Structures are given as structure tokens and as C-alpha cells.
Structure 1
């Protein structure tokens, strides 16, 4: 017994020492990150780094009122766009009555759509009478909070648009599809007007049923919670952002994460999504899923999906806990040999999205 007691004391002392060093290193790391951002990193790389930082700890940055917490803004990839008529008209003198809004995924930003030179889901429509715009937001924040904020901001942006808007297209990649779905849901809840302009809504590799790689982090938190000797690992897991937790379950409404704050309603029990919000009712809705393998009908490859999101999740198929999203079969497209990030720029994906959007044009 004494040997066990000595071992426990030594372990606890070591754990405390490591924890203190981690805390000290965290302060030092924060200072070095600040210095690096301000003095060394080029602007483009700095934007990408901030997007990554916000995806990992964006909710923490918000609580600390950090200047590194990204606000939600609309851009044309060159400038942040105003939400007042006069300023917006000066910024977009060639604005048209048809808008394509691109909403990026987790740990990314508006310029992340430019994976290949001259290839961009938004820019491909510029020569077809559409004005491409891009959302930038804090992906560490709860998806539903981002969604509700986007709902109200779209109402304001469209009201300030230089000409009456006839058509709105939304293309969401990964988490961006969830944020957009959430925005449509809260626009309905608040009886906003912009969903009536929405003609086409496309999701690219969006984890409607959640993402297993993100769920693994949730499982790790629960596993180590019951083992005191592993509590240090749980502290490491605590840096996982609210947005990441929502992504793991495909959670797009406030109640989905609010129940996680109740002791007996933790991540151990997935939220009830049998009555999850429908797809936007005023639009034609489409979903793109991909497999790393060309063998798209092989169940093993479908489970792996694009390396991040399984095919069934990207297509919003029914599970034991979730009803299926009501995509018509002809509005679901599965392609092989494309990974999660390549959905942003692969020529065949751009061509399919273009075909859908133009088919619904007003």
C-alpha cells in the first residue's frame, strides 16, 4: 500500500509540475504568437494563421475580448464590405442583382477559396452576371451563434446592396454549410426577408450528421474524465473550441449545445436531432460528397468519405438518431478521387455547381 501511495504522490507531483509548465508556456506562447503576427509573418500567411487560431480557440479569444478574435465580415477578397448603401455602392460600383455568397469551413477564411490560381467557386460566376462575395467568421464560435448572426447580417447587407437583389446563391464548404443552414433556420424564426431571394443552396463536404474525426476528440474528453490520473489530458482537450464540438455532431441550433452545459446531458449523449431543421424552403438545395477512392460504392470507402466527412454525413442521410435531410436524389452528387479540401477547387466540382446554379437562375 505504501508503494502505491508513494507512486500516487510522485505522479500527482509530476502532473502538477507539468500543468504549471503548460500554463507558463501558454503565456509565453501567446506573447510569441503576438510578436510573430505583428513583426514577422506576411499578411496572407497571417490571415491563414489567424483563421486557424480562431478555429482552435476562437470562443476563448471571444471571452477574453482578444483583438485576434475574428469578427464576421463580408468581403470581395480585396476589402471588407460595408453594410451601408453609400459606402457599399462606392466599394462595388459594378454590383449586379445576382449574388453568390461563399461561406468557408472550419479553421479557414475567405481567401481559402483561392486554392488554385484563377479557380474559385465564386469568381467563376463573375462573367455570368453574378457578384461573388465571401464571408469571413470565427469558426471556433458556436455554429448556431454564427448562423443567427449571419441571418441578421444578410438582411442588412441585402438591404444596403447597390441595386435590388433578384437572386441569392449560397455555397457552403464543410462547416460553412452548417453555418448557412443555421442562418436559414434563424431567418425563418425571425421572419426575415432575404430567404425569399435564395434560389440555390449548395453544400460541399458538409458534415450534416457530424464529423467522426471531430467526434473522436469528444470521446477522448469523456473517456479521460473518469480517470483522475488522465485529467491532464482532459485539460488539453478543453482547448477544443465550441465550433469544433458542434461540428462533431452537425449541431446548428442553440438547444443542441445548451444541453451540453447540463451535467447529465454531456457529449456522452448525442443531441436529439430527429426534428432537426429542414433545408431552406425557398431554394433548390444540393449536396456534394466525395470519396478519396474512385470506388464510390464500396462501403468502407464511403465511411472514410473525403478523409474528413463520410458520404452519408455529407448527403444528410438518415441515421438511428437523425431523420434524413430532404435532398431529392437528383440533387445529390457523389464523386471519387477528391479529398475534403479539393472540393474548393476541383474542376469537376466547379462544373457541377455551375450547372446547378445556372439551372435555377432568375
Structure 2
């Protein structure tokens, strides 16, 4: 007699038929997954396109070229339409990185249904006002920096009573644009320090919110948002450039020097990447540097953008490789896209004796975390919640 399967277990025939069914329906299930994934990520199409070719789109006034704007529920929103009401509420403004958008701070395709990322969680648990900005990451960093300075100035002008302490959080390229905006907001790095503090309303027991203490070191007429600025968080920001873009530039330069038809073709193809990507080679934050005649040299000039006085800077970085890997290798690859040395920005952030008045710098490294993992890491969130 044939051996019967143990009670409660399917027979071999049923298992074989089930396996055959799974194989037969695999293409359908795979296609359904791809369609679902594409729908969930369709908001990324324009940011990715702009990150790769955004400067070219903007140059020919292509309607697909993104413009820097605050974003609410997936739509561009003017400053006037934000309708900020709560008096002197601490406000956190989030800026994404290359080829990203504002949704990386809020939700993700693989997130659990009830999972909230940094922006919504901080709003709910820390009582801050979370604002999100989307921009064309294919433009020069300095172009976006100047635009951010104008946008934040408009925000501070429109809501002088609603805007309390201001905190800026930038991931990767977003952190560089924050630094560039500070440069242009402070009149090209030259601050007019005023000794007289701005008079603020006395705290009213009937009104919510805390009294605002103005940062008098950054009290400038041209950029009123600087007077509110208290902290800047840079997550995986290549303050001294990206090794990946440095290698891309070197490869394009070498292929061009070989000067054969195939190598010229490859060099020209590599050089079609956007100005925003090219600026990441040395983290060029001011117009004069990319306009310089030697901007494409292997060692181009770079203007040092100073830190802002009275601001707390937080450098958060990931370490992608395991701790048993050689230290030099872990230092070079960093979070996979940004080296540890670049994230630390030793030239600007490393000299404590040269820090402006009231400025502080803190660093935190998160082990076995890649570049995008810094956007969802629970320890990164706890750090933000603690220091914000």
C-alpha cells in the first residue's frame, strides 16, 4: 500500500500542484508588484528627472522643471497659503537630497501602514511645526541656496508672530543648500552684527506658544529668517564633496584626454549629468566658484562658506561597512555615498577655536547605516527629537 501522508499535511501531489501554481502565476504576481511599486513611487519621477537633467529642463523652460516651493499634500503651496497661525511655534523645515522629494520625510513604499517618519512624528511628539520643501536638484547648489534664502525670508516676513525658533534639517544635498542659503542670507558671509536685541512681545498667559528670543548675531534686514535660526541638522551631507562624483569627473577627464572617438563619446555622455551633480564633487556653494574659468580643473578653487554665529550644527553620518573592515576603507566609503571625512567637514566644522560666537558643532555616527537609511533610523529620530 502507498504510504499515506501524516495527518494534517497535504499529499505530495497537492504540494506539487501548489508549487506549479505558484510558478505559473509568478509573472502575474511580479507584474502586479511592479505596477503597485510604480504607482507608489510615481511621485519620484519628476524629482529623479530633475536631479539628472533639471538644469537643462529649466534652461528651456520645460514645464517638467521643478521650482522650489513649500509642499502640502503633494502640491506646491505659496507662502501666503500656508496659513500659519499658532504664535511663536518652533518650526522645522525639511529639505531632501539629490533626486528626492518632500515625501521622504513623511512616508515610504515599504513602511508599515501606521509608520510615521521624522516630520509627522516630530510634529506629534515634540509639538513642532513641520514644513517641507521640494526643489530642482539638478540646478547649481548656489542657485538653490539663493532661492531658499528668498523663500525663508518670505516665510519670516509673512509670519513674524507665528514663526518661533527655526530649525533646518537637510539630507545629503539638502544640507549643502541650507549652508549656501545661510551664505547668501548673511550678505555673502559678511554679517552685520547688531548689539541691540529686537524687542519681542511679553509672554501672554492667554496665548499658546513660547516667547521668542531673537538671535541678535543674525539680525539682518535682508534675511529675517536668520534671526529665528537656532539649529541646523545635516544628515549624510557631503560638506567636502562626494567621492562618487569625484571619480565620475576624473573618469570623464581621463577619457577626454585619451582623445579617441569612443572615449570622447563616453566623456561627453558622462558630462551630460546635471550641474547639481557636478557641484557635489567639491560641494560648490557660491556662484563665483562654478563660474570660474578653472571650475573643471581636477583641483578647482572653492570658497569657504563660514558657519553662522549663534547656530547649533549637528552632523549626522552613517557608517555602511561592518566594524571589522579596515578603518581606512570605512572612512572612505562612509555611508556608501558620502565619506566620513566629507560628512565631518573638517575644514569648516573641525576648528573649534575658529567657530563664530555662540556656534556649536556636534557629530553623531550611526553604525552599519547607508545613506538613505539615515532617513528612517530610529536612533537618528531620537537624536533629532532630543536636540530639536
TM-based fold match above 0.5: yes
- 1:48 aligns with 44
Q: Would you say how many aligned residue pairs link Structure 1 and Structure 2?
A: 306
Query: Contact between 1:142 and 1:246, CA under 8 Å: does it hold in 2?
Result: yes
Alignment of 1:1-362 (within 5 A): 44-84=40-80, 87-89=81-83, 97-113=89-105, 114-115=107-108, 116-117=111-112, 118-127=115-124, 128-161=126-159, 163-189=161-187, 191-226=222-257, 227-229=259-261, 230-259=263-292, 262=293, 265-273=294-302, 276-295=304-323, 298-318=327-347, 324=350, 331-357=362-388
SS at match of 2:370: coil
SS at match of 1:139: coil
User: Where in structure 1 are there 5+ consecutive unaligned residues?
Assistant: 1-39, 358-362
Aligned mates of 1:300, 1:269 — CA distance in 2: 23
Q: Give the deviation of 1:42 after TM superposition.
A: 6.6
Q: Give the deviation of 1:161 after TM superposition.
A: 3.1
Q: Give the deviation of 1:209 after TM superposition.
A: 0.5
- Identify if the C-alpha distance between structure 1 residues 162 and 278 changes in structure 2 by more than 3 Å, giving closer, same or farther: closer
Aligned mates of 1:344, 1:294 — CA distance in 2: 19
Query: Contact between 2:334 and 2:340, CA under 8 Å: does it hold in 1?
Result: yes
Query: Contact between 1:177 and 1:206, CA under 8 Å: does it hold in 2?
Result: yes
Query: Contact between 2:85 and 2:162, CA under 8 Å: does it hold in 1?
Result: no
Larger Rg over CA atoms: 2
Q: Give the deviation of 1:310 after TM superposition.
A: 0.5
CA RMSD between the two structures: 2.5
Query: Contact between 1:96 and 1:131, CA under 8 Å: does it hold in 2?
Result: no
Q: TM-score, normalising length from structure 2? A: 0.73
- Identify if the C-alpha distance between structure 1 residues 77 and 348 changes in structure 2 by more than 3 Å, giving closer, same or farther: farther
Bigger helix share = 1
Structure 1 runs of 4+ with >4 Å offset: 40-44, 92-96, 322-330
Q: Give the deviation of 1:93 after TM superposition.
A: 5.9
- Identify if the C-alpha distance between structure 1 residues 329 and 183 changes in structure 2 by more than 3 Å, giving closer, same or farther: closer
Aligned mates of 2:307, 2:281 — CA distance in 1: 19
User: Where in structure 2 are there 5+ consecutive unaligned residues?
Assistant: 1-35, 189-221
- Identify if the C-alpha distance between structure 1 residues 225 and 266 changes in structure 2 by more than 3 Å, giving closer, same or farther: farther
SS at match of 1:80: strand
Query: Contact between 2:331 and 2:340, CA under 8 Å: does it hold in 1?
Result: yes
SS at match of 1:102: strand
Q: TM-score, normalising length from structure 1? A: 0.78
Aligned mates of 1:330, 1:181 — CA distance in 2: 14
